[in-house]
Structure formats: structure tokens, C-alpha cells
Structure 1
């Protein structure tokens, strides 16, 4: 007679988190591991990406009493597919069901039946040693505790400062610090709220914290940090992520840059032109984009060996100290997150010149017009060939805008560049 394993509805968000971080590009077959421990009265499921493992724990009293102490691993890809089918089609109280089929020859099979009665069958194998080592290490990790409510409030406040690369909170202090575009920024917490834990997290760690807080049913969240890994737990389930190098938050950020030009441009026009650059191999290979700024216009261009792209940026406002032509690294421009950084139809860009003479193109959203969410290096371009080429493209553009019978015109202020 087959035994059953039931994953109740309250654990479905945990299963969803696990299957969403399974490494689909992992060279070896990804695995999920089951550990049944009668003495500790728990069934543990271990899975996820290498270094980003989740451990989901289910009390054994919710399982068939015939289940014995055992450990095994099985294919995670079909596990994910089966669980996703169950998640998509389960009724209000319907659990995810696995049948354990133990053969006389000591082989074990796991069977699942989908909503349309397709059978999924796994042959179990020896438990994954990496999973076992991670599971054992968790028992020896030192955890710090934080109030779930306090942590939720701090994370909600931090969301108003997005995007940022890392976040720091100090126990007893009424502020948080974030790193954005290599600058350290401080923001006060509301209503005299103070953090009850010392914590520095990067984006991956922040994602785990938010996920655990969202689904936590306990009053406290526990966090363990080592040099290489961060683990967050609600006391029952554990989620880990590798730690990246973090900034020195004690270093004060100084803004000594001079604004050389400010552009408020239509975000759809900018995104459309950048999409073209991504799509044309010649342009990507040449890896250079040009920005021409005149008294009241701005133009974006990119060139390949036999192709050219040129577009007027629909500027809602422009302020420039003088006309200039600039060059930027195209691959760096393509990495800037233009999508979903603002609810507005426009994005603000500024060309900033620092004391050492270097320049950067900085991007801002409506939540913070003083500190950029991202920036890339930009340089003045005095190459005559590039200048002449931009003049020719601008003339073509103006002809198409004003009619072919219009004579070619010199750029406004072009001789001043």
C-alpha cells in the first residue's frame, strides 16, 4: 500500500518560492531533496539554485503515520512542473499530493497525479550531498531576531527609495541608509520607528526578506549572515542567498558635480530607440552612441559599419550651458533600467561634470530628483568625422520633418561645438 505526502495550502507560497529559484541552466540535473525525521517530527524539502537553497518544513502530524525516517532526492524539473500544475488548479483547501511507492527491491518511487489525471513518476536517488550539508549547517548557524512588524514597516519605507543596490539598518536608529549609483543616502523612518537589528543586505537578500515577511505567520523573523551567504527564517522555513560585496556605509557621500545639461525626455521615444540599438548587430558591435545637445533640442544616434540610426529625443524641457556632442558606451547604456523605473511618461537625464573633469549621464525618477538611480560615463566628443556625420543626419531628419524642398541647414550652434 502506497503512503502519501501532503503539502497543505498554507505551504503553497513556500513551494512557489522554491520552484521559482530552481537553476534552469544548471549543467547537472537539478534535484529536490526530501528528509523525513520522525524524532524531530518534521518533513523537510530542500531545493533551489546552487547557493540559494530553500528549506520548507512540514510537521509530520500532517502526514501519514506510516512514513518512516528516510532521505532521497528526485528530479526538480518535473517536481516544479507538477507542483506548478497543482498550484494553478488546486481548490481552496486542496493539498499537493505525492504517493510514496516503496518496492521490494528497496527502490523508491514518488508518484503524482495532475489535475487532468496525467501521471508523474520519479525514481528516487541518493540524497544530494550539497542539500544535506546545507541542511546540517543550518542547525549550527547563529541567527538574529527582528520583529516581523518592524521589519515589514522598514521594508515598506525602503520601497519608496527604489531603485537601490543595498540597504543598511542599525539597531536603535531612526533611519535607513541605501546605496544608489555609488552614493550613500540616508532616510528617516516614520513615527520614531527604530530598527531592532543590525543588518546590511544587497538586492538578493532584500528579495528574500520581503518574501519571508509577506508570508510570515510568526511574530519574529530570524536572520543569519556569513561572509558568503545570508539566510532568513520565519522559525520554520529557511531561505538562503549568496552575499555580494557591500559598500562602506560609513563613507559620507558628497555631491560635487556641476550640472552641464538637463534633459526631460519622452520615455517611449528613448526606449524605442534603445530597443533598435539592441536589435542591430552592427550597432552593438561598434558599441558607441552619440548625444547631440543644442540650445533647445537633443538627438540620440548610434552607428554601425554600414548603418546609422538617428532620433530626436522628444524633450519636454532642456537646459544646457552650451551646445555639445557627447559619446557614451552603448553596452553601458543598454544596461540602464529604463523600463518600470517611473510611472511618468518622461525621464530626467542630467550630464554631470565632476571636479576631476570626468562626466556622467545620470538618470532620475519622480521619487527623487536630487539623487540619480543610475548613471554611466559620458565624454565630450570633438571628432570632426562624428560632428560632420551628425550634421548630415540632422539635415536628413529636418528634411523629412519640414519637406524635401527645404534647403539643408547647419545645426544651430554646430560651429560652437
Structure 2
């Protein structure tokens, strides 16, 4: 009996294709193309933006050259059952029965080794054939897979976003989040070798291709309507229509409200401590106090709390200010390999709508932060509590100095090597 064997290398791509199948899709079919005795294609998924998997075939399987479509829900039900009960490295096989009177075959599959499922092939879906033809004739740009993974690493550091743009000429990142556009510097140890403009769906698409491939290069095509990515075996597409509005928007302008240069390791050290104390982790709030002389980090709840002075090199602050910042977001700011120096510039930025963000800068680019936190707000109601904690800390530090410890209070607030 003629058959198709879906080998281990094709399984992940087919599973992704199956996952995009919807009962509400206006084209509820997957299409099989037997091009030669050695090459075939499976096409399906979203009707407007399909996926495709290249199928290596064997002349011994007895397949005839042809094009036909199958009920997508039947195929996906069979595929999921067989995938669940088959080892990753074991091929999944479906029989292809060519009738004497029928022009199109009948496919027979065994589900989970217990039940037969048959699917009568129908004439091929023209939209699927057109997608295959477009892929064959498409002029793709080429992106080394390692470079694509660097792009994804940068994109991940700026989550969440609706649009991600990597600007090669300026070595900058521009993102859209909550209808606001902002420019960010690249991390100091990264250099953009390619420019690219994607929405969040196409970023996920590129990530999936990169995660599942051993290919050294990714092919991609971008226009005003769609993104197409391919590693040579799997092809996937998605809409880029959302980028039309992005191109018309202006970037959100921020001015600097407060600027500090601090010892970033002091900063990260106490954030880590806060996350290790259950009530503070649950409260998920870091308090940043800044005046002309001091920068203090704190996390305070009724049951427990902690605060410390952060060593500083420079403070620009018109008046004492207190900010509440999302602790989990703050702790995820990437410091490793960003800068070799101990100090880092941090700024509280504000836009015309009064919205705040906390920007982190590297040594290479002082105009745009490489990473920002937008879950930040004024915490004036907690000012009295914070000032009380500040006063108690100062008393304890003075008492420590009085005992003749080696570290002086001056060392706590300054850089020895700056």
C-alpha cells in the first residue's frame, strides 16, 4: 500500500502547522503536493497566512505525482493522536489508497494504535498552491541564524511590545508599547548587522523558526502586508498590516526629571534580597528615594522591610523625590556584559502626558536608555515612612562608625575608583 512517512525532522514544523488550524477558518483544509518521488509539501494553517513544510519522500513509497487537499480537522486530530503516542525520532505513517475509479486518493490513518481514521482527498486549494508558487519564486533576504538569535535576544529584553524595530544605521532599537513609540540604545556588547521591522506576531514566528532549525541561515521576506520566514524546510507567514499605523506615529518625547549615576551592583544586590523575603516579594514594590545628597533603595511593608543607601557618583534632583517601581520588572534589568564599569547612569523620565519611565543607560550611548521600566509612579503617600526608615538607617550607620569599623560612612556614598 502506498504511504507517506512524516520523519522526525518534519514533525515540529507539522505540529506548528496543525496548531494554527482553526474550526472557524474559511479554508478548513490542508493541502498535500507530491511534486516528485523525492519531494512533497504540506500546506495549511491560517487561510490568509499559511504555513508550509517540505516533505522528504521515498520512491519506494509508491506515491503518484499529484495535488490534493484533506479535511484539516481530521488531519489535525489524527496527527495529535499519533504524535502523542509516537517517539520523537519515530516516523508517523499514513496510508495512501489510490482507487481505480477515483482520481483523488483516500488516506487511512491508525490513531493511537486503536482506531482507523480515513480522509477522502478533495481537489487542491488554489490559495495553498499559490503560496507554494510564491515561495518558489520569492526573492528572499538572508539572515544568518546566529544574527537572528541576537535580534531575538534584544527583542526579548524589550518585552512587552507591539512593534519591534532594529535600526542598523543608528545601532538603536525602536519599539511601540501601549501606543507609545520609544527609542532605546543597543546593549553595549551588541552590534546590529541587519535592520528589521516586525510586529509581535512575526517576532514569535522568527523565534519559532530559529528554535526549531539547524540551518545556518534564515530566509525572510517582508512587505506592507506580510512576513514570510523559511529555514529551507519550514515556511511560515503572518500579517504585518499593524505596521501601517506604526509608520505614521511620532515617537513619544521624554524629558529628564531625575538623573543619577550609581553603583549598579549595590542596586542589584538589594533587589535580590527583597525577592528572597516572601512578604516583600509578594508586595512586588521597590521604593527609590532621591534627594540632592542621597539615593536610597527600599522595600517596606508592615511585617518586614529593608532599605540601604546606594553609592553614588552624581545626582541631579531638584527636590526630594520618591518613586514606586515594580520589583519584579526592576530585578529583570540585565546588567551583565552591559558595562564593565561599576557605575551606571539611571534617569527618571517623564513625557507630556505625565507618564514616567525609568531608563538604564550604558557607556556607549548616553542619549537613549538601553532598557526602560514603565511600571513606575510617584509614591508621595509613603514619603513619611521612607524618611523614618532613612533616619533609622543613618543612626545605625553612625553608631557603626563610632565603633571604629574599617569602612567609613563616606565610602558608603562614593566611588573609590571614579
State the TM-score, normalized to the length of structure 1.
Answer: 0.59
How far, CA to CA, are the matches of 1:314 and 1:53 in structure 2?
A: 56
Residues 1:110 and 2:93 are matched in the alignment = no
SS at match of 2:360: strand
Counterpart among 55, 59, 69 of residue 58 in structure 1 = 55
Question: Contact 1:44–1:58 at 8 Å: present in 2 too?
Answer: yes
Counterpart among 321, 325, 339 of residue 316 in structure 2 = 321
How far, CA to CA, are the matches of 2:249 and 2:333 in structure 1?
A: 32
Question: Contact 1:4–1:63 at 8 Å: present in 2 too?
Answer: no
SS at match of 2:128: helix
How far, CA to CA, are the matches of 2:117 and 2:286 in structure 1?
A: 54
1:104-253 matches, within 5 Å, as: 108-110=108-110, 119=113, 123=117, 135=128, 138-139=131-132, 145-148=139-142, 155=148, 158=151, 163-164=157-158, 166-167=164-165, 178-180=173-175, 182-184=181-183, 200-206=197-203, 208-209=205-206, 212=209, 215=213, 221-225=219-223, 227=225, 229-234=226-231, 237-243=234-240, 245-246=242-243, 247-248=246-247
Quote the offset at 1:376 in angstroms: 1.6
1:290: which partner in 2? 287
Instruction: Report the RMSD for the aligned CA atoms in angstroms.
Output: 5.6
Change (3 A) 1:145 1:342: farther
Deviations 1:300-328 (A, max 9, x none): 3255xxx4553336845463335734233
Question: Contact 1:33–1:74 at 8 Å: present in 2 too?
Answer: no
Question: Contact 1:99–1:111 at 8 Å: present in 2 too?
Answer: no
Counterpart among 286, 310, 335 of residue 305 in structure 2 = 310
Question: Contact 2:29–2:69 at 8 Å: present in 1 too?
Answer: no
Question: Contact 2:254–2:351 at 8 Å: present in 1 too?
Answer: no
Runs of 5+ unmatched residues, structure 1: 113-118, 188-192, 407-417
Runs of 5+ unmatched residues, structure 2: 100-105, 187-191, 403-418
How far, CA to CA, are the matches of 1:111 and 1:347 in structure 2?
A: 61
How far, CA to CA, are the matches of 1:27 and 1:308 in structure 2?
A: 52
Quote the offset at 1:238 in angstroms: 1.4
How far, CA to CA, are the matches of 1:359 and 1:388 in structure 2?
A: 22
How far, CA to CA, are the matches of 2:127 and 2:334 in structure 1?
A: 36
Question: Contact 1:7–1:96 at 8 Å: present in 2 too?
Answer: yes
Question: Contact 1:232–1:238 at 8 Å: present in 2 too?
Answer: yes
2:189: which partner in 1? none
Residues 1:81 and 2:84 are matched in the alignment = yes
Deviations 1:31-82 (A, max 9, x none): x976433467654345779988632121444671157856241335445535
State the TM-score, normalized to the length of structure 2.
Answer: 0.59
